[in-house]
């Protein structure tokens, strides 16, 4: 059954252009998520279907592309921040090899949900705005697979696209559209350019 949310969004006739920014969650969007666990090293990292190809295409259309990711595994001591940075370096190298780009990665290793940087709180986005003042959150897209991603984006006035997950989607008002994969989401975005 199709959501009325998509029909409303399409009827807005929004077109994306180079003035827009793209914010991406990492686990479940760019890489396969390990349920109830953390990606602790590169050997556990696996890109989602056509994620790098999607990033290559989207890199030509968006002004800036960011990853905003909660990484509580570091705070819990299951991995080190050095491990996380190494994963990100290898991920970026692999994305670049396929002609994609990520302008910056913002991550939160804090354990407490009250941390200003832990999604759904907006600290990572505000840091991105400080680093890249041209960001206009009203001309930004958030792509994520969780309710916290969607609340993060909606709080800032972004368009929010939810990657389908095994969770029952109870809160229809927190996202503008949902997709089976990041690849399907990227095809929709391209259709609106």
Residue 8 to residue 61: CA distance in whole angstroms? 23
Average pLDDT of the residues in 168-184: 79
pLDDT on residue 174: 77
pLDDT at 11 over 50: no
**pLDDT for res 90:** 98
Q: How far is CA 24 from CA 78, 120, 131, 143, 164, in A?
A: 24, 13, 17, 5, 14
* pLDDT over threshold 70, residue 170: no
Q: Which residues are catalytic?
A: 25, 27
Residue range 31-191, CATH number? 3.40.50.1000
Which value, in Å, is the radius of gyration of the alpha carbons in the chain?
Answer: 16
Segment 120-133, tens digit of pLDDT: 999 999 999 999 99
Residue 30 has pLDDT above 60, yes or no: yes
Question: Which of these, 113, 116, 140, 141, lies nearest to 126 by C-alpha position?
Answer: 116
Q: How far is CA 25 from CA 1, 10, 130, 145, in A?
A: 26, 23, 19, 7
Q: Over the stretch 36-50, which tens digit does the pLDDT of each residue have?
A: 899 999 999 999 999
Q: Which distant-in-sequence residues (6+ apart) come within 8 Å of 7 by Cβ?
A: none
What pTM does this model have?
Answer: 0.91
- Categorize the per-residue pLDDT at 15 as very low, low, confident or very high, splitting at 50, 70 and 90: confident
Average pLDDT, the chain: 91
- Report residue 148 as tokens: 């916290």
Average pLDDT over residues 163-181: 74
Torsion of CA 140, 166, 88, 96, to 10 degrees: -60
Whether the pLDDT of residue 172 is over 60: the answer is no
């Amino acid at each position: 059954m199709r959501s009325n949310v998509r029909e409303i969004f399409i009827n807005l006739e929004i077109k994306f252009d180079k003035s827009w920014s793209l914010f991406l969650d990492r686990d479940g969007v760019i890489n396969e998520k390990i349920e109830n666990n953390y990606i602790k090293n590169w050997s556990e990292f696996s890109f989602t279907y056509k994620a790098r190809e999607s990033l290559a295409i989207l890199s030509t259309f968006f002004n800036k592309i960011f990853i905003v990711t909660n990484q509580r595994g570091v705070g819990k001591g299951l991995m080190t921040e050095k491990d996380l940075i190494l994963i990100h370096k290898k991920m970026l190298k692999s994305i670049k090899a396929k002609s994609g780009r990520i302008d910056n990665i913002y991550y939160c290793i804090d354990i407490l949900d009250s941390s200003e940087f832990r999604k759904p709180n907006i600290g990572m986005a505000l840091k991105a705005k400080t680093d890249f003042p041209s960001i206009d959150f009203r001309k930004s897209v958030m792509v994520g697979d969780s309710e916290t991603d969607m609340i993060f984006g909606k709080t800032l006035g972004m368009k929010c696209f939810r990657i389908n997950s095994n969770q029952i989607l109870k809160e229809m008002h927190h996202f503008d559209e949902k997709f089976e994969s990041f690849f399907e989401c990227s095809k929709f975005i391209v259709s609106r350019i």
